[in-house]
Structure formats: C-alpha cells, structure tokens
Structure 1
Amino acid sequence: MKADIKNLKDITLFVDGFYRKVQHDELIGPVFAGAIQDWAPHLEQMYRFWNAALFGVPGFRGNPFAKHAPLPIQEKHFERWLSLFSVTIDENFEGTIATEAKNRAQVMAEMFIHRLRGMNGDTSKVIV
C-alpha cells in the first residue's frame, strides 16, 4: 500500500514528477515550453499552490486562470493534463489527500474550460 500525500515533501515529489511528464508530452509539452523559460520559479509556485490547496498553508499568490487564458489551449489539453496528473498521483500515493488532489485538479480543469469557452477565443476578455 502506498502512503497518502502528507506534507510539502510529498507535494514536491508529485509536482516534479508531473512536470517531467508534461515536458516530454507531445500535446501539452510544446504549450508549456512556449510559456515557461525557467522552470524553477514555476515549480516553486506549484509547490505553494498545492500546499495551499491541500493543506491550507498560506503562501500562494496568483491568478492561475489569467496566466493560462492567453495560451493556445483547448479541452484536449486539459484532458491530457488531467491524465498525466492522475497517473503521477497514482504512481506515488493513495489515500484521502491523494484523491482530493485529483478531485481539485478535475474541478480546476472544468472551471478553466468553462471560462475559456465563455471567452470565445478573445483573450482580451480575461478578468484578473
């Protein structure tokens, strides 16, 4: 039996593993490569994001949707993102928090897709 996600060390493990998969993925890898030149700050931000999302630890600041809205992304990109995310979680963890991480990722993807559809391709409609 695998352990559950329990701390920042575990978050770092799954975030790093997930983004290694992302960087090598033929569909979403190029989108990320076009948007991120230096991965270290992005990874640090993702550690803070997931620490806040899963454990309520303060430290994350940002507007994820505003960062993603101008990117050339569609529903298929979110489907791949979710698939890679779930695989990464399942490879390393199981339990209540692991399930919560996958659920939160699903909700976030659905919200982003819904908001992107509302923009109808017009990135000037982004509300920050």
Structure 2
Amino acid sequence: MMKDIQNRNDISRLVSSFYEEVRENEEIGPFFNRVITDWEAHMEKLTDFWESNLFHKAVYKGNPRIAHIHMDADTDHTVEIKHFGEWMRLWIKTIDQMFQGELAERAKNNARKMSTHLYLGIYMNRKPGIAGNP
C-alpha cells in the first residue's frame, strides 16, 4: 500500500516527477518549455503552491490565473481546453503512481477545480475574435 502525501518533501517529489513528464509531453510540453526559463525556481514556486493548497500554509506568493493568462498571450492564444485535459491526465497518473489517500485525492480534486478556473480565466481575457473567442 502506498502512503499519502505527508509533507513538503512528498510534494516536491510529486511536482518534480510530474513536470519531468510535462516537459517531455508533445501536447503540452512546448507551452511550458517556451515560457519557463528557470525551471529550478519554477519547481520551488509550484512546491510552495501545492504546500499552501494541501496543507493550508501561506507559503505561496503569486497569482496562477494571471500567470496563465500571460502564458496564453505569450503562446499566441493557442491554449485550448484539451491542453488542460492532458495536464490533468498526467497529474492524476503521477499522483496515482506515487501516493494514495485523502491528500492525494484532494490534490486531484483541487487540480480539477483549478484547471477549470484557469482555463475560464484565459478564455474570458481574450479579446473578441482571438482564438475562437466570439
């Protein structure tokens, strides 16, 4: 039986394993590899984010919604809902390979909610006529 996510080290391992796959993924890797220039700093920020999210600690400083809106603009408004679906597939797969339990399930559920929120933020901030926005 696998253990649940228990601490920052577990989150760091999860985030590192996940983004190794993301960076190699043909569907979503190009978005991340084009926009992220300092992967070490980004991994630390993502670990902060998930530590804040799962353990209710105020360690994350940032605005994921704004970051994703900028990323969409930087990639010529080519982000589609299918990209969030692929991100979710990899996230759930990575969690399921490494952990099981209440926090593992919370990480999956929170990511589902977050991905919907982030995609809607991207879509609502596109100017009319850009990438399918009426």
Counterpart mapping for 1:1-128 below 5 A: 1-70=1-70, 71=72, 72-119=78-125, 121-122=126-127
> Which whole-Å CA distance do the structure 1 matches of 2:33 and 2:119 have between them?
21
Q: Tell me the SS of whatever aligns to 1:59.
A: coil
Any unmatched runs of 5+ in structure 1? 123-128
Q: Tell me the SS of whatever aligns to 2:107.
A: helix
Q: TM-score, normalised by structure 2?
A: 0.87
Deviation at 1:20, TM superposition (A): 0.2
> Which whole-Å CA distance do the structure 2 matches of 1:51 and 1:44 have between them?
10
Q: How many aligned residue pairs are there?
A: 122
User: Which amino acid in 2 is paired with 1:85?
Assistant: W
CA root-mean-square deviation: 1.3
Q: Deviations over 1:52-91 (max 9, x none)?
A: 0000122111011111113231101100000000000000
Q: TM-score, normalised by structure 1?
A: 0.91
Q: Which runs of 4+ in 1 moved over 4 A?
A: none
Q: Tell me the SS of whatever aligns to 1:105.
A: helix
- Identical amino acids, percent of aligned pairs: 36
Any unmatched runs of 5+ in structure 2? 73-77, 128-134
